[in-house]
Structure 1
Amino acid sequence: MPDISAAARRPFPLILSVAIVGGLALGAVDLVAQRELPYPWANLANSSAVWAVGAFAIGAWVRAGRWQPAFAGAVLLVVAVESYYLAATLIQNDDLANLWAPTSLIWMAFGVLAGVVFGTFGAWSRSVSLWRSVVGTAALGAVFFAEAGVLLRRQTSIEPEYRADGLATAVITAAFGLALIVVFGRTWRTRLLALAAAVPLAALGFAGLTAAGFGS
């Protein structure tokens, strides 16, 4: 686990509160950004990788504990799903039943999985252990690289008039992955090692996203 004393751990009520507030903000902001931003930026707002940043960031903030970073990441993303559908009801008059529809339940299940994984990686990125710091930081960049690969794969199956936006989104997504490695890497050694580790992790992520149906 990240090397931090038990006395320095954040209180559980604070962790839960921040996760809930963060999830409410993420879901609502995501919907508004999709509606208001120009393309290709609106595509990025709807990115699964961007949501992973939320879980990663709260995991990096929680940092300590055997299960707290994973729990915080899962809570944040589950709340974000419900916040998204609630915002859609309030802003664009979508059906309130979307909050408990099968689709939202599936997204919440993905939120639990992604929250546990990226909450943990966020905590690892703050560890004094080199290998944990490298893997944690690499995972965040890798999810963006994997999504960029998925976007490029989709280029062959979308209408020609939309391909320029899709290509631009893929480039922006990959650039975000690189930038996040630089931001979250604690030293240049960590950043360079994380960039190298992100390549095989991105390949695994691409395979996983494709298998889950995100590549079609």
Structure 2
Amino acid sequence: MVINRNVAVAAPVAGVLLGALDFVWIKYVPFPFGGLGNSIAVWAVVAFLLTFRSRWTVPAGILGAIVCLVVAVPSYYLAATLIQGDALANTYNVTALLWMGSGVVAGTVFGAAGVLARTGGRLRAAAAAMPGAVLFAEATMQLTRVGDPSYETADTVGYAAVLIALGMAVTVLVGRSWQQRGLALLLALPLTAVGYVLLSLTGFR
């Protein structure tokens, strides 16, 4: 099928680009915007947008998003090896495998959400709220650090503001009308709470 061929090509290519460009972003873009390269939420949003912009079915979208995120991990570490001489073993060590496992979970959730946000139905608004919600959840985690002497308050607040602005922008991008965008933002509130709990359980802080 044409759809399956598209997934087989587009998903791994997107993963290679995501991983390599993410490392370059972290290395050369100053904070707070450079912090987006270390964001698990940003990778989830990339998976969402990949399937949202493609004409894939839900199963194909899930597969494509998983492949993208899993391939991005060794691509990131390979870029680190080529650019700054990091050990090649980082591409397959325990940390890399854990990130790949997280990519499977995130790809399943956000790959499906991207397709549903495009194809419509009763789940469209909730699906469209997902990318904003995960960015808001990470922003919330950042704001819980305010007052912690281990973190600079100005940097923390600045980065949280970037995440919130990006979440708003993505919600506007995926909505087809201002009514849909408003509903997605409303639904993002409870989804943000869920995302915050899940991120906390993974130990992402």
Which of 105, 123, 137 in structure 2 is aligned with 1:132?
123
Question: CA contact under 8 A between 1:144 and 1:176: conserved in structure 2?
Answer: yes
Match of 1:102 among 94, 98, 122: 94
* CA separation of 1:79 and 1:183: change in aligned 2, threshold 3 A: same
Aligned match of 1:209? 199
Give the deviation of 1:169 after TM superposition: 0.4
Structure 1 alignment gaps of length 5 or more: 1-8
- In the TM superposition, what are the counterparts of 1:18-97 in structure 2 within 5 Å? 18-97=10-89
2: CA distance, partners of 1:75 / 1:28: 15
1:172 aligns with 2:185: no
Rounded to whole Å, the distance in 1 between the matches of 2:199 and 2:55 is 27
Q: Whole-Å Cα distance in 2 between the matches of residues 40 and 199 of structure 1?
A: 24
Q: Distance in 2 between matches of 1:115 and 1:73?
A: 5
| Matched letter for residue 34 of structure 2 | A
Question: Who is 1:118 aligned against?
Answer: 110
Give the partner amino acid of 2:92. Answer: W
Distance 1:63 1:156 in 2: 46
State the aligned residue count: 205
> Quick one: which amino acid aligns to residue 98 of structure 1?
N
2:32–2:158: 8 Å Cα contact kept in structure 1? yes
| 1:4-35 alpha-carbon deviations (Å, 9 max, x no partner) | xxxxx852122121111111001011101111
- Using the alignment, how far apart are the partners of 1:60 and 1:89 within structure 2? 32
Letter matched to residue 57 of structure 1 = L
Gaps (5+ residues) in structure 2?
Answer: none
**Cα shift at 1:158:** 4.3
Measured at CA, do residues 158 and 25 of structure 1 come closer, stay the same or move farther in structure 2, by a change above 3 Å? farther
Specify the SS of the correspondent of 1:20.
helix
Query: Are the aligned partners of 1:59 and 1:69 in contact in 2 as well (CA < 8 Å)?
Result: yes
- Aligned AA for 2:181? R
TM-score between both structures, scaled by the size of structure 2: 0.95
Q: Give the secondary-structure state (helix, strand or coil) at the position aligned to 1:11.
A: helix
C-alpha separation in 2, matches of 1:95 and 1:133: 43
Cα gap change, 1:116 to 1:63, in 2 (>3 Å): farther
CA distance in 2 between partners of 1:101 and 1:168 (Å): 33
Question: Which of 178, 183, 189 is matched with 2:173 structurally?
Answer: 183
1:209 corresponds to which letter in structure 2? L
CA distance in 2, matches of 1:189, 1:172: 24
CA distance in 2, matches of 1:210, 1:155: 16
CA RMSD of superposed structures (Å): 1.4
Q: Which residue of structure 2 aligns with residue 152 of structure 1?
A: 143
In structure 1, distance between residues paired with 2:103 and 2:204: 15
The two structures have a TM-score, normalised by structure 1, of 0.91
Q: CA deviation at 1:212?
A: 1.1
Q: Shift of the alpha carbon at 1:117?
A: 0.7
Which range moved further: 35-44 or 56-65?
Answer: 56-65
Amino acid of the residue matched to residue 45 of structure 1? G
Q: 1:172 & 1:69 partners in 2: Cα distance? A: 28
Supply the distance in 2 between the matched residues of 1:64 and 1:34 (Cα, whole angstroms): 31
